[in-house]
Structure formats: C-alpha cells, structure tokens
Amino acid sequence: MAFNPFEMAQQQFDGVAEKLGLSESIRSLLRVPMREYVVSLPIRMDDGSMRVFRGYRVQHNDGRGPCKGGIRFFPGETVDTVRALATWMTWKCSVVDIPLGGGKGGIDCDPHELSMTEQERLCRAWVRALSTEVGPFLDVPAPDMMTNGQHMLWMLDEYETLHHGRYPGFITGKPVGSGGSLGRTEATGYGVICTLHEALKMLGIDIAKTTASIQGFGNVAYYACERYTKLGGKIICVSCWDNTDKQSHAFKRASGVDIVELKGISDRFGSIDREKARELGYEVLDGDAWIEQDVDILIPAALENQINGDNVSKISSHVKVIAEGANGPTTPEADVEIQKRDIFVIPDFLCNAGGVTCSYFEQVQCNMNYFWEKEEVLEKLDMKMASAFRKVCEMAKDKGVYMRDAAYMIAIDRVANACVGRGWAVK
C-alpha cells in the first residue's frame, strides 16, 4: 500500500489524544485541517506553450496565531502530503511556544526543468490565486524544499502589488537587505544541532567524540553538518538526491566528510557530482547506505518516510541518537522498533523547529521595522530550542513516555487549550 503521510500524522495524533483524554470535539477539530485550497496555475512557458500546474495551501489550525509554513516545489506533490506537513507545523510552532499555527503549501513541479523566468511566473501565479487567503496576519509562507529567498521575494512583490502597499511580514526567508533576517538561512540546521547537543549532554556523551551519518545535502543538512563539525563531531557519510539519474547516492569517507569540499562540487539543489567525489576519495554507495553506517548519530534531513518498517532493522547497534531534521522521516512502525532498541529520538517537529522559530523572528522584525544582529538572532534561537527540548525531556521523564509522545503531549495540549478558550471546542 502506498505511504500516506497524512494518515501517519493522524495516527500519531490519535495515540496522543488518547493519552491526553481529549474530548471528541477537540479530536474532531484538530484531526483535520481547518481550511484547504487547491488551485490550477496556468503558466506561459519560455517556448510560448501553456502548462497548467497544481498548487496547494493548507491551513491546519490558527487557534494560537496566524498560520505559518513553507511552500515547496516538488514533483508529484499531493494534497495529503501538504495536509500532513501543515499538521506537523501546528505542533512544531506549539512545542517551541511561538504564537503561530500550522500551514503548508506546495506546487507540483520540478524546478530542475524550469527556467528562472518560468519559476518566477509560477511564484506570482500562486500568490495571485491565494492572495485573499494569505497575509501577514492570516498565513505567512516561507521557503521549503527546492524554494529559496528569491522565490519568496517574487511572491512578496506580487502580494504587495495586489494589495497596494508594503507588507514585508507577509512572507519570511527573504534575502537579507530585502526584509530577511540574519541567521535565517542557518536556523533549521543549527536548531537540529542545538537539540542534538542538549541530548548528548543529557546522555553524558561528548559531542566531539561522536560520528554521524546524514541524509540530505540541502539547506538543513548543510548547516547541520557545519555546526556539528564545528562542535567537534565527525560526519562519515552524506546521502543526497542526484537529478542526473533520478536516484539518491551516499558519499562515504571514513576519515570524515568535508562539507565545504562537497558543497563545491554540488549544484544549487544539493546534488553532488559523483565522479568529482570519487576523485576526492569518497566511496559512492547506494542512497540508502546512510542508515547502515556504524555511527553514534543518524540525522535524516531530507524527506518523510525514510526510516520505516522495511529498513529500521538496518540501523547499526552503534547508533545512540536519531535527530530528525526532516519532517515525518520515521514511521510509527519504525518507532516501535526504535523504542525497543532504546535509541534516543529527537522528534522532527521539535528537532527541526529552528526554521519556523527564526521565521517568526523575521516576521516580528519586519512588522516592527527593526532588525537584530546575527549574534542576537542565533542566541535567541538557541534559547528557544534548548528550552523546548528540556521541557519535552521533563515530560518524557515525568510521564514515562517516548520522546515523540512527550513532544506531542505538550504541543497538542497547548493548541487544545487555545481552541477551548476561543469557544471552538469543549474539554
């Protein structure tokens, strides 16, 4: 049966709702998104032809504040994937205690096959189709998979043109100098390592004596690698998608991966040149090899459904921690086995919440038209992430539950209380 991320998100919610003893009205409200938009986007291509792309925006819950969440370009994007990501965004904003709800967007396209002018038309068309449903106090988009600051700036320009004003808080992840925040580029990856560092300290493990294998080489993975190696850790394997043959490959070097070196031989989507990597002394392996490495730490930082019932048994007995940099990388079936093996998991919507936290900082700075220095942004980020991590650990210890369940219990309870307070449901 095909993997459905939204069914997985609902399954995770149902288990925690039972533990919390939520009323039927709260369960019915939080189990599904509040609003969903599916739009057709007719685009004039560079060769003069017309193509119609399918776009999405899902707003899961705005009980705690405006919806917040990325918009991604992804071939084969589905509404169920966007529903799941929007749901996880609600819990993500809640677990780090920022006053936002969960939203997510996507366009079914492959930007590898589109020129920059075609991508610009696509960005502007998405905003035109949804301009009355998003905004600085309604729903604030951000970059996600295969989108970046340039895409956000085109979207901002289109939104401001339509609304005849300046609304820099409409969208985050913008370039610095155009309303973007210093530190936003590094935020998600740095946040992953902040929570990892806290976990290792709690477990009594010196990060400088650890090794890691990471899946992904996009923005999140790159900056997670950067901060991890600065703290003394050694990465021995990186896995990423290769657009030339439409499959993933792993790049392993026992002496340690040099991320700057690999960055120099990768394209703007994070695909590493295999031949050049071999010349630099890397083994090029099957893309799934990242999960089989004898390392202390696994960091899935790419797609959902990457640690599942089929491959969880391949995880080495050396692995002590899994830090989920991606959204939904581990299925409930894999979670059962991971708990049995007593591997410490930093759940996705806590581990990778650095991005939305810094996006929130950018939104605040834009709305007050005053910007902080990079050191202040990253200091505030570390404080938020470390505080959230400690609260989840305390809940897990006090209730004797799995870390993922503890994070969900905190996040869902906060959202449920907000919805009850607004009169949308009863306890």
398 residue type, one letter: D
Cα 414 from Cα 275, distance rounded (Å) = 50
The dihedrals phi and psi of 117, each to the nearest 5 degrees, come to -70, -35
CA 21 to chain centre: 29
Place of tokens 């980020």: 381
Cα 188 from Cα 350, distance rounded (Å) = 11
Place of tokens 């799995």: 402
3-state secondary structure of 353: coil
CB 300 within 8 A of CB 306: yes
CA distances from 254 to 78, 235, 259 (A): 38, 9, 14
CB 392 within 8 A of CB 407: yes
CB 252 within 8 A of CB 237: yes
Please report the sign of the dihedral spanned by the C-alpha atoms of residue 191, residue 194, residue 196, residue 199: negative
The dihedrals phi and psi of 392, each to the nearest 5 degrees, come to -65, -40
Out of 104, 174, 252, 384, pick the active-site residue: 104
Indicate the helix (H) or strand (E) that contains 269: none
| Residue 314: active-site member | no
Beta bridge partners of 214: 238, 299
CA distances from 282 to 229, 257, 265 (A): 18, 8, 12
- Which active-site residues does the annotation give? 104
